[in-house]
Structures are given as C-alpha cells and as structure tokens.
C-alpha cells in the first residue's frame, strides 16, 4: 500500500499537531488545505497521508490518526468500533461533493450506459461492447483497489453489493485507472471526477428508459447524476482540539471551499453569483 505525506512539520521529525490519513480521492485536496492553512498559521503542523479510505478508517479506529479522509460514510460497525474504543462516535464533517465517473477510450462509440448495463459489465454478465451498442470487441474492466471508498461506493451503488467479475484489473488510484483506459481501446474504468486526461467520460442513465445524465456540477448537486456522493472527514472524538476544530471550520468556510473546485470536486454550497 502506498502512503504519501503531502504536508508535514518543516524540517522536523516531531509529531504533527494534526495527523490525517485515508482517501486517495481526497489526498490532493487535503494536502492543499493543509499547506494553505499552515502558511496562514505558522504555529500549526498538519501531516496528510493517503492509502485509501479503509486505511484511514483503520488508523482512526486504532488511534494513529486524528482525522480520517473518506470518500464514503462510515459503516455502522465502524462507528460502533469507535464508540467501543473511545467512548463516543466519530465526528462527521462533510467537506465536498463529488461524482464517480465512468471512463472509456476516446475511440469507443458508446455514448452512455444505464446502471444496469454498467452492473452487467462489472459483474461479468456483459463481456463484449457490441452487447451495449458499441463495436464488437471484448471489454477490459478496470477498477479501484478494495481498500478504496470509491471501490466500495461503486460496489454498493452499481453492483448492489454483488461481487466484481474475477477478471477486473484493480489499480491503486483513479489516475492509474484513467491512464490504463487511455491506452486501451476496449477498456472501461471508474473513479473520482477529479481525474481525467486521455479518456472520454460516459453519461449514465439511472434506468434503461431514462435520459442519460452528465456528471456536471448542476446534476451532481441536484442528485440526478446517479453516482453523486459527499466526501467526508471523520475526527477521533478523543483527538479533538482547538487546532483540529479551527482547521475544520476553515475547510468548511469560504477559503477552504474555494479550493475544492480546483481539483475537480464541488463545494458544499454553490458559489455566489456576482452582481
């Protein structure tokens, strides 16, 4: 598993004031938040690591991280573990809106898929592009690693908790998925909306007879795009402090939220319209 520290106490091995670990979807954004906040508050140090939502939740529950970055909500059993370990529920802090988008090669003639068709591909029931209106050719299926919150959200929302096809190629992050699909004319992959390049995003149909929906801010914010989601920070209830609370308030305030869209996600509230 890859761990990447994006922000740390300058020049030192001393422990950071705030330790953060988890979602690769939120890794760059959390690192930007940490760097900007430390620049404005020189007395505070924040360390941000990735590894996936599952890794962040594990770190939160074993007390090695103050904050877990998550691309899904905590499971009931995870909340129960926090209560058992620390005597209280973790503090849930929504920080951004995001979409899981589906990528294909630019040469692929398919313009949209229904969730049922997408489920069929990822469950192995649909194996050729001709079965969903494309040119004949075997479908190469790419996905995220199983420690990823994006993996879990996709499995729950699209596969209805059924198993992925055995042939799915699990990759570490969305950037790797996008890169693989960009090189593979028969490929399909999914990942956070913050990553793109060399692929084409498919529109999705919530049901077979419904119109396809793009992963635009309008459709994500309205909930019409079927793979819309919130991104979260979870705080260990015993690690709350003035520094932690102040950073979280800053993230949810105008300055922190103004940074969200620069990385392909959407702020919790729409930006005000200039008069």
Identical fold between 18-97+232-263 and 98-222:
yes
3-state secondary structure of 189: strand
Q: Which tens digit of pLDDT belongs to each residue from 99-133?
A: 999 999 999 999 999 999 999 999 999 999 999 99
Q: Which tens digit of pLDDT belongs to each residue from 67-79?
A: 999 999 999 999 9
Domain residue ranges of the chain, discontinuous segments joined by +: 18-97+232-263, 98-222
- Is it the case that residue 259 has pLDDT exceeding 70? yes
| Residue 10: per-residue pLDDT | 43
- Is it the case that residue 262 has pLDDT exceeding 90? no
Q: Of 7-16, 118-127, 192-201, 223-232, where does mean pLDDT reach its minimum?
A: 7-16
- Is it the case that residue 13 has pLDDT exceeding 90? no
Phi, psi angle pair for 105, to nearest 5°: -70, 145
Distance, CA of 11 to CA of 165 (rounded, Å) = 47
| Residue 15: per-residue pLDDT | 64
What are the b/e assignments for 81-120, b being 16+ CB within 10 Å? bbeeebeeebbebebbbbbbbbbbbeebebebbbbebbbb
- Is it the case that residue 135 has pLDDT exceeding 90? yes
Q: Taking the domain 18-97+232-263, which CATH number applies?
A: 3.40.190.10
| Residue 3: per-residue pLDDT | 38
- Residues 6+ positions from 198 with CB-CB distance below 8 Å: 106, 178, 179, 181, 182, 183
- Residues 6+ positions from 211 with CB-CB distance below 8 Å: 205
Element (H, E) at 98: strand 91-104
Distance, CA of 152 to CA of 135 (rounded, Å) = 30
250: nearest Cα among 88, 95, 27, 48:
95
Q: Can you tell me the mean pLDDT for 130-138? A: 97
Q: Which tens digit of pLDDT belongs to each residue from 24-52?
A: 889 999 999 999 999 999 999 999 999 99
User: Above pLDDT 70, what percent of the chain?
Assistant: 91
Mean pLDDT of the chain: 90
- In 10 A of CB 273, how many CB atoms? 5
| Residue 147: per-residue pLDDT | 87
pLDDT band at 263 (very low <50, low <70, confident <90, very high): confident
Q: Can you tell me the mean pLDDT for 193-205? A: 84
CATH architecture type of domain 98-222: 3-Layer(aba) Sandwich (3.40)
pLDDT band at 255 (very low <50, low <70, confident <90, very high): very high
Q: Are 116 and 193 in contact (CB under 8 A)?
A: no
102 vs 269, higher pLDDT: 102
Distance, CA of 32 to CA of 26 (rounded, Å) = 10
264 vs 144, higher pLDDT: 144
- Residues 6+ positions from 39 with CB-CB distance below 8 Å: none
Token output for 123: 């469950």
- Is it the case that residue 197 has pLDDT exceeding 70? yes
Distance, CA of 188 to CA of 180 (rounded, Å) = 9
Q: Can you tell me the mean pLDDT for 230-251? A: 94
Q: Which tens digit of pLDDT belongs to each residue from 168-191?
A: 999 988 899 999 999 999 999 999
Q: Which tens digit of pLDDT belongs to each residue from 80-92?
A: 999 999 999 999 9
User: Above pLDDT 90, what percent of the chain?
Assistant: 81
């Amino acid at each position: 598993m890859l761990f990447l520290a994006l922000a740390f106490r300058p020049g030192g091995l001393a422990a950071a004031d705030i330790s953060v670990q988890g979602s690769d979807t939120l890794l760059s954004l959390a690192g930007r938040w940490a760097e900007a906040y430390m620049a404005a508050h020189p007395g505070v140090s924040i360390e941000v690591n990735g590894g996936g939502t599952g890794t962040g939740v594990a770190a939160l529950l074993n007390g090695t991280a103050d904050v877990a970055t998550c691309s899904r909500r905590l499971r009931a059993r995870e909340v129960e573990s926090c209560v058992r370990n620390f005597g209280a529920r973790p503090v849930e802090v929504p920080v951004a809106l995001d979409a899981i988008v589906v990528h294909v090669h630019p040469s692929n003639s398919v313009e949209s898929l229904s969730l049922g068709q997408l489920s069929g591909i990822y469950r192995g029931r649909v194996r050729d592009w001709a079965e969903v209106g494309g040119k004949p050719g075997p479908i190469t299926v790419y996905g995220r690693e199983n420690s990823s919150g994006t993996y879990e959200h996709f499995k729950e929302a699209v596969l209805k908790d059924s198993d992925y096809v055995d042939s799915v190629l699990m990759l570490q992050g969305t950037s790797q998925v996008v890169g693989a699909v960009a090189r593979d004319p028969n490929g399909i992959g999914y990942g956070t909306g913050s990553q793109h390049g060399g692929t084409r995003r498919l529109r999705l149909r919530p049901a077979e007879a419904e119109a396809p929906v793009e992963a635009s801010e309008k459709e994500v914010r309205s909930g019409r795009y079927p793979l819309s989601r919130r991104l979260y920070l979870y705080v260990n209830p015993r690690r709350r402090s003035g520094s932690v609370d102040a950073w979280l308030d800053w993230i949810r305030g105008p300055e922190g939220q103004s940074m969200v869209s620069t990385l392909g996600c959407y702020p919790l509230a729409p930006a005000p319209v200039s008069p």
